[in-house]
Amino acid sequence: MRALLLYLANREGFKDFSLRFKVFRNTAWRFVAGETVDDAVRAVKEINAQGIHGTLDLLGENTLSLDDARHATQEILDMLDRIKSEALDCNVSVKLTQLGLALGDESCLRNLTAIVAHARKLGNFVRVDMEDSGYTQRTLDLVCRVFREMDNVGTVLQSALYRSEKDARELIAQGIRIRLCKGAYLEPESVAFKKKSDTDASFVAITKLLLDSGMYHAIATHDEAMIKAAKEHAAARGMPRDRFEFQMLFGVRRDLQQRLAREGYQVRTYIPYGRRWYPYFMRRLAERPANVAFILRNFFKG
């Protein structure tokens, strides 16, 4: 099921077919704040009121022209201005294929540099999301190049990939802040663990590296076993609860997000918005069969 949904995430034909059904579109709004920046701002204000930080993601990936990449870059620059003018407690997350990575490194680097420079001027931070393993090395290379000039950029590692523990050591050595997640993409066995228990063991091992680094990193998961492992390791080291943050997705385990914030941990919600929500939504469906069952049960009503 997971493999099928991740395959369909990249299929335009299935997208056109599924968008005809109201239940499909309506279920998407559980995971996506809306289509406009006003929707996104409203969502950030709501979570800020609960003592939770935000990170905004303008949805879009695999941009096919330099013009589209520039357009997305401009929208993200405007989003940064909006975060400032609304005094939101919120940074931004970007995907390099949205900024033109598939079209070449140099134009993508220019777009990323413009975003990080603007964020720095506004006192903000940019997180570069990690996409499928075909882009891992180039993403890390571009983030490192920008980081040499400006330190308000960080990136993401996926515990499912064999290489991530080594990548974590290298990024830490350079002082680059990391968000650790399990990995949302369909990967071949040559590069990624296939068993959940192996991905989880890798997640815990990298979590310990991050917490021991003395830097401020992010542990991005809804898995209570992973969260417990992070809490226990931090407590055993006598680390104050504000030296790292937990991150979770908009619409997933709100109860857990609020509980951790009440316990005094830093919590950040990843809030996606925009019209290009289809691949993101399909990855969320792939993570949890219950989400698909809900759509199927209501399919013929919508």
Residues that bind ligand FDA (CB under 6 A): 129-130, 156, 158, 181-185, 220-223, 247-249, 252-253, 270, 284, 287-288, 291
Choosing from 57, 129, 132, 200, which is the catalytic residue? 129
Query: Measured from the CB atom, is 126 or 130 closer to ligand FDA?
Result: 130
Is 284 known to be catalytic?
no
Q: Residue 136 CB, nearest distance to ligand FDA (Å)?
A: 10
- Residue-wise burial string across 11-49, b where 16 or more C-beta atoms lie within 10 A, e elsewhere: eeeebeebeebebbeebbeebbbbeebebbbebbeebbe
Can you tell me which residue has the tokens 């990323």?
112
Which residues is 156 bridged to in the sheet? 179
Q: Does residue 237 come out as left (phi exceeding 0), alpha (psi in the -120 to 50 range) or beta?
A: alpha
Cα dist. 272→4, 63, 181, 252 in Å?
23, 17, 16, 12
Query: Measured from the CB atom, is 238 or 295 closer to ligand FDA?
Result: 295
Query: Measured from the CB atom, is 66 or 144 closer to ligand FDA?
Result: 144
Q: Residue 199 CB, nearest distance to ligand FDA (Å)?
A: 8
Q: Residue 238 CB, nearest distance to ligand FDA (Å)?
A: 26
Expressed in angstroms, the distance from the first to the final Cα of the chain is 22
Looking at the chain, the number of H-run helices and the number of E-run strands are: 13, 8
Is 151 known to be catalytic?
no
Can you tell me which residue has the tokens 């013929």?
300
Choosing from 132, 167, 177, 179, which is the catalytic residue? 179
Query: Measured from the CB atom, is 66 or 165 closer to ligand FDA?
Result: 165
> Which residues form the catalytic set?
129, 179
